[in-house]
Amino acid sequence: MLDLTRKVAFVAGAGSVAEGWGNGRATAVLLARQGAKVFGTDYSEDALTGTTTAMDKEGLGDSWTPYKADMTSNGDVERAVRECLKRYGRIDILVNNIGGSQPGDPVSLTVEQWDGQMERNLKTAFLGCKHVIPVMEKQFEKEGKGGAIVNISSIASTSFQVGGRVHVAYAASKAGVEAFSRATAICYVKKAIRVNSVVVGMMATPLVAARLTQQLGVSDPTALAAKRNALVPMGRMGEAWDVAHATLFLASDEAGYITATKLIVDGGVTATRHNGDVAA
């Protein structure tokens, strides 16, 4: 089940901002556990080093290649894909996992902040697909097998706010990721290239903890975590492994009849929330 032996996965954002398990790190390790060769990018060498350490601890070092790249840069993405092909000769799975939120409404956000959200959250998915899809097309022409693309989105795509903190750019960019995923899926459905989104709810990851602590000026992270846990019907925030397992499923052959859709991983939040009640 969910065997990725002889598959190559390109994971964008495979590091973590701190020790522990971010979505990208957990996904990279899980795909390697299932037999894939994993080529992981991050803009931070330190973040990649942490993932390398995690891989080595599990004896997965031979299945892992770290590569420093800014996934908002067309040139960097092009070079990263070329290096992956040089190393492994193919790409069967693409995971676009770059993202981050910036609070603000249309008036308070600067133009630079708006552009930054679109670059980081939406353009990265576009560039990943732009350079990996031609590889998958060639594989389809040669083998009849294309590949699977998983783009990481957020429940912000249907809008939310917390304590009056609005995130219009983040919401718009994540809605764009889902629309982009559906449209791209239909573009390449005849070439056996599947494209889906994992829609993530409130998460307890190093990136989220660092971001919210800074944005909110929180002095008691434990109290903030308890408050966020209470907003989830299941009683807890999600973990990186929840995202990783959803990603693994959509990337696997067992999901071979699934494309142009989204898998919501949020502990029931979107089914029960009311406007203004939920954070991301």
Please, what is the Cα angle at 237 between 232 and 239, to 5 degrees? 150
CA-CA distances (angstroms) from residue 174 to 58, 152, 157, 249?
33, 9, 5, 21
Contact 181, 263 (CB under 8 A): no
Beta bridge partners of 45: none
- Token pair, residue 150, equals 């998983």
Could you tell me which residues come within 8 angstroms of residue 243 by beta carbon, excluding any fewer than 6 positions away? 23, 26, 27, 152, 198, 200, 203, 265
Place of tokens 């949020």: 266
The catalytic position among 67, 170, 188, 257 is: 170
Contact 243, 26 (CB under 8 A): yes
Beta bridge partners of 167: 104
Contact 11, 37 (CB under 8 A): no
Contact 162, 259 (CB under 8 A): no
Q: Could you give the residue ranges of the DSSP H alpha helices within 58-167? A: 74-88, 111-117, 124-143
- Let me know if 257 is a catalytic residue: no
Beta bridge partners of 104: 167
CA-CA distances (angstroms) from residue 106 to 102, 129, 137, 178, 217?
12, 29, 40, 21, 22
Return the active site residues.
170
